[in-house]
Structure 1
Amino acid sequence: MSRSCLAVILAAGDSTRMKSSMSKVLHPVASRPMIAHVMAAVASAGMTDAALVVGRDAERVAKAGSIDGISVQAFTQTERLGTGHAVLAAREAIAKGYDDILVAYGDVPLITATPFAAAREKLAEGADIVVIGFHTANPTGYGRLLVKDGELVAIREEKDATDEERKVTWCNSGLMAINGAKALSLLDSIGNNNAKGEYYLTDLVEIARAAGGKVVAVDAPEEELTGCNNRAELAYIESLWQKRRRHELMISGVSMIAPETVFLAYDTEIGQDALIEPNVVFGPGAKIDSGAVIHAFSHIEGAHVAAGASVGPFARLRPGADLSEGSKVGNFCEVKNAKVGEGAKVNHLTYVGDAVVGAHANLGAGTITCNYDGVNKHETRIGENAFVGSNSSLVAPVSIGDGAYIASGSVITEDVPANALAFGRARQETKPDRAAVIRERALALKKSRQKS
């Protein structure tokens, strides 16, 4: 829209019901703070300016709410005197003269851009106040939106509602849009003549109407307006977010055998025709290309899996893992900060960290890149078509040349040239009948301990 807009995000609550050592809005949904989800929706609605009203953990909340595309200014609410008072904490920003002022909450992480856009359209059509509401089958406890001739005439709290008004299922979400030219005068008109002595934003409906202004309401899905007050509600919101995102991915062409067991991060990218088996967890920064297969019980974070690659089952890809087309990371393997070349195989029970694995190389079971010396990390380079036998330890920094062959059970501490065969193990010795002697000695020791 060509109209300018300021989003005022209220995030100063003490959140005592969360029973937490940090602010409620910092708690994550899909590996992202709740406040960041709200700010992302604001950005998606085309708004570029936001006033963040903060209290507890002010610096951390402001940092979490700072996302690309949004200019954020933080304002501290030192007293808790109601929602109207909270909005006026951002007086300095509101006074800059925006066309639209949009009020949202930092603990409503499922919100999308659509309700914001709908509210702003009503402002553009001449409304002074636009309340965002939702329909629910269980309206108990919510303020009811009372509409007459297309205009909102009141928000009636349940304790004040008549029996007939309690039958209304259109409820107040708390989100609101205000005509920017009148915002400060309307907000300053809110009084605190009530039992709690607080300034309620909902009073703007009557104030604007009394001044001859137009007040309307727009509808939004109940799910998007779900707020969070405690850990149980946080878990419920997480489940709603996951369900919504899984559905979007499956509609886009991603296959999930048991979608309810797959957990995604806010930025997880999965391409068409990828297959995700049960019990897979994605942390932030995971990108899965078309046609890749993620087998059951794998955990992927900060990693890229290219087309046709296979991961797991029971594999872990940590940040910096980059699997090329057709490569394979098998069961009970871990890859961190490593490039795995096209068609390369990292087989079971293997750790690859701080490494480059060439195309079509094969790492046998139990291979370890020994990348850490207790102080610094070092790189291992494995050439194309190299073969590393099972139970080998590659002590970095070390380089294995193209086509080289590492004998099973080797500890490799020096570079291996291309096409060379390297042994890094002691020569086997066989002692006839020695096993019986060792066994008898062990049994005697066990018997002596039992007597004592």
Structure 2
Amino acid sequence: MSQRSCLSVILAAGEGTRMKSVLPKVLHQIAGLPMVAHVVKAAEAAGAGSQALVIGHGADEMRKAAAKFAPKAETFVQEKRLGTAHAVLAAHDAISKGYDDILVMFGDTPLIDADALTVARLKLAEGAAVVVIGFRPPSPTGYGRLIEKDGKLVAIREEKDCSEEERKITFCNAGMMAVAGAHALKLLDAVGNKNAKGEYYLTDIVEIAGARGLDVIATEASFESALGINNRAELAQAEGIWQARRRHEVMLSGVTLIAPETVYFSHDTEIGADTIVEPNVWFGPGVKIATGAKIHAFSHIEGATIASNCDVGPFARLRPGADLKRKAKVGNFCEVKQAVIEEGAKVNHLTYIGDARVGAGANIGAGTITCNYDGYSKFFTDIGEGAFVGSNSSLVAPVTIGKGGYIASGSVITESVPEDALAFGRARQKTIPGKGKELRERFASAAAAKKKATGSDH
């Protein structure tokens, strides 16, 4: 099996009008990744070393997206939509390169299980010419039925063409199939369009192959794996299924999810054992969490690296480039972006740290911000090891706080602070006895006069 070459032909030319979107249907995302990219990943996991994407609507956008999730894939444009066999033949040049196995897949089935594809390829290795992947939906109504005889697949019958007896069949066509490379082009070229729609149907190769004495069989995938996406409701359903699968995997790997159904992962989330995730946490793309971290409720994390035994949240936001070292803490209502929080440093509450480094063991007081942007450019703030920044301080970048530096609360720091120095950056307090009472009386008098003149309390 490992010696057999394999090409996946992924049909992704549909307009997806029921999505009601300017975005090509297969670029709508599941877990932060275009659904067609999930299909590519499944094909690769099943051993397909090459991919051919058949595109149409939004071709330029598709090529741009494919460069990210399938940089080595060939793209082929289906100029006219004349049926599924016609779509597969758009990739004629790729198919003709002599692969042992050809997987034909659809870009709108993001939950397809790589194991189902592997089983189909194994059947090709055992001598089958065509392997159709079937499934058993809760209700077969509307699906093409797989007609089998003596263990062989003899036809795929659309429901409208089924006899009463055939309509009772619950084994249905999932659309995907594996075809022996030696027969693929001959079978596809033999497909005609003598039907009501004048289209070339991929399913016709089942009967064509059978008539030529080639073995055609069906294998079975789960209903969830074969689920196709046509509208936003089905997109949400697929997202829910994907998330449920991933939560289950994560918990079995040693992660505690206190309320699993409220935690959302991205396709590439990495999370270590003994991490505890509280309810209502969202992980965007690019998150890596080591062992023993604690992620408190209502935190929003993307593009961040969190080392072992860190403490995050509740209500924390870690943006791309946030890098928390061992035992660092980012507490409630804090935002960290493009910044390193060194080992044991604490950013406890109501704070923004951007384009910065917070040294090991440093303490950042409530309400502190790094003023990193002047409207045109970003600037860096470096806070040294063991520094203490008092509450409600503004650090105007570029600026450096030396090791052990101490910033008085309420300071606006515009110049670098040497190691172990104390810095004040605030106006001297002035107290005027009795002035508070005078102001209250003046404001009350003015308010009463305004009410009398307007007859309003506002």
Fold shared by both chains (TM-score > 0.5): yes
SS at match of 1:347: strand
Which amino acid is the alignment partner of residue 324 of structure 1? K
1:244 aligned residue: 245
1:190 aligned residue: 191
Distance 1:317 1:346 in 2: 12
2:307 and 2:327 in contact (8 A); partners too = yes
Deviations 1:257-282 (A, max 9, x none): 11100011100011001001000001
Which amino acid is the alignment partner of residue 413 of structure 1? T
Distance 1:137 1:162 in 2: 20
Which amino acid is the alignment partner of residue 175 of structure 1? M
Distance 2:358 2:295 in 1: 20
Distance 1:221 1:294 in 2: 34
Distance 2:137 2:15 in 1: 28
2:46 and 2:117 in contact (8 A); partners too = yes
Cα 1:66–1:46 change in 2 (3 A) is farther
SS at match of 1:61: helix
Q: Which runs of 5+ in 1 are unaligned?
A: none
Distance 1:203 1:70 in 2: 32
Distance 1:445 1:206 in 2: 92
Question: Counterparts of 1:99-138 in structure 2 under 5 Å?
Answer: 99-138=100-139
1:35 and 1:64 in contact (8 A); partners too = no
The RMSD of aligned alpha carbons is 1.2
Question: Counterparts of 1:362-401 in structure 2 under 5 Å?
Answer: 362-401=363-402
CA drift of 1:216 comes to 0.5
CA drift of 1:68 comes to 6.6
Deviates more, 1:423-432 or 1:70-79: 70-79
SS at match of 1:204: helix
State whether structure 2 residue 329 is matched by structure 1 residue 332: no
1:36 and 1:64 in contact (8 A); partners too = no
2:37 and 2:70 in contact (8 A); partners too = no
Identity of aligned residues (%): 64
CA drift of 1:202 comes to 0.6
2:17 aligned residue: 16
Deviations 1:385-426 (A, max 9, x none): 111000000111111111111110011111111111111111
1:146 aligned residue: 147
CA drift of 1:449 comes to 2.6
Question: Counterparts of 1:370-449 in structure 2 under 5 Å?
Answer: 370-449=371-450
1:265 aligned residue: 266
Which amino acid is the alignment partner of residue 325 of structure 1? R
CA drift of 1:208 comes to 0.4
CA drift of 1:428 comes to 0.8
2:269 and 2:286 in contact (8 A); partners too = yes
Distance 2:315 2:370 in 1: 19
Which amino acid is the alignment partner of residue 247 of structure 1? H
CA drift of 1:119 comes to 1.0
SS at match of 1:445: helix
2:37 and 2:69 in contact (8 A); partners too = no
CA drift of 1:34 comes to 0.7
State whether structure 2 residue 304 is matched by structure 1 residue 303: yes
Deviates more, 1:148-157 or 1:356-365: 148-157
Distance 2:231 2:336 in 1: 36
Distance 2:29 2:336 in 1: 26
1:64 aligned residue: 65
SS at match of 1:336: strand
Distance 1:187 1:335 in 2: 55
Deviates more, 1:441-450 or 1:173-182: 441-450
SS at match of 1:164: helix
SS at match of 2:349: coil
2:348 aligned residue: 347
1:336 and 1:354 in contact (8 A); partners too = yes
Q: Which runs of 5+ in 2 are unaligned?
A: none
2:235 aligned residue: 234
CA drift of 1:64 comes to 2.5
Question: Counterparts of 1:146-295 in structure 2 under 5 Å?
Answer: 146-295=147-296
2:40 and 2:70 in contact (8 A); partners too = no
CA drift of 1:91 comes to 1.1
CA drift of 1:69 comes to 7.3
Which amino acid is the alignment partner of residue 282 of structure 1? F
1:43 and 1:69 in contact (8 A); partners too = no
SS at match of 1:223: coil
State whether structure 2 residue 86 is matched by structure 1 residue 80: no
1:318 and 1:337 in contact (8 A); partners too = yes
Deviates more, 1:62-71 or 1:120-129: 62-71
Which amino acid is the alignment partner of residue 414 of structure 1? E
Deviations 1:48-75 (A, max 9, x none): 2111100011122233234577631111
Deviations 1:317-357 (A, max 9, x none): 00000011111001000000000011110011000000010
CA drift of 1:440 comes to 1.7
SS at match of 2:427: coil
Cα 1:305–1:68 change in 2 (3 A) is same
Distance 1:322 1:156 in 2: 56
Cα 1:70–1:428 change in 2 (3 A) is closer
Distance 2:247 2:261 in 1: 8
SS at match of 1:320: coil
Cα 1:70–1:133 change in 2 (3 A) is farther
1:48 and 1:69 in contact (8 A); partners too = no
State whether structure 2 residue 35 is matched by structure 1 residue 34: yes
Deviations 1:154-200 (A, max 9, x none): 11211122222222211110001111111111101111111111111
Distance 2:420 2:414 in 1: 17
Which amino acid is the alignment partner of residue 252 of structure 1? S
1:329 and 1:346 in contact (8 A); partners too = yes
Equivalences, count: 452
Deviates more, 1:105-114 or 1:310-319: 105-114
Cα 1:67–1:436 change in 2 (3 A) is closer
Distance 2:139 2:188 in 1: 31
Cα 1:435–1:58 change in 2 (3 A) is same
Q: TM-score when scaled to structure 2?
A: 0.97
Distance 1:340 1:108 in 2: 41
CA drift of 1:444 comes to 2.3
Which amino acid is the alignment partner of residue 246 of structure 1? R
State whether structure 2 residue 4 is matched by structure 1 residue 3: yes
Which amino acid is the alignment partner of residue 322 of structure 2? A
2:347 and 2:363 in contact (8 A); partners too = yes
